[in-house]
Amino acid sequence: MSPTTLYLAKLMGAYSLFAAAWLMWRREAALGLVDRISNDPVFESMIGTLRLVVGLAIIVGHNRWGGALEALVSLIGWIALMSGIATMFLPTGTLRRAIVWMRFKEKLSFYALISSLLGAALFIGGVTA
């Protein structure tokens, strides 16, 4: 396993765990941020740019598909890249419609659980490999 894979797995895993905890303990702040981002074209473009940069950084530095952990890290990079491009170039309001379609507010606990499970898998995989 490459040191890059282990580093990115631990980094993304820890981030996902903190993000899940934030979603649960600061629910109103999280919902407010999502609402603000999805209703402001400037914030929406900024988030798209950040996703694009993170996705490119992961793909350029780590586009490996050999093992499960490597594939998961690379997949997250590609998802970040594609969502960044979509957020930047799709019409304003597409992100807002996606959030409504996902029923983010009603299913926040579910999304926090997914984030924590993904984070735990990445972090444990990065630490124990």
Mean pLDDT of 9-15: 97
3-state secondary structure of 57: helix
Mean pLDDT throughout 30-55?
92
Task: Kindly report, residue by residue over 91-104, the tens digit of the pLDDT.
Answer: 888 888 998 999 99
Q: What distances in angstroms separate CA 35 from CA 22, 83, 91, 98, 117, one per listed residue?
A: 16, 18, 17, 12, 25
Give the pLDDT band of residue 74 (cuts 50, 70, 90): very high
Average of per-residue pLDDT across 46-75: 95
Q: Of 49, 56, 19, give the one whose Cα is nearest residue 34.
A: 19
pTM: 0.88
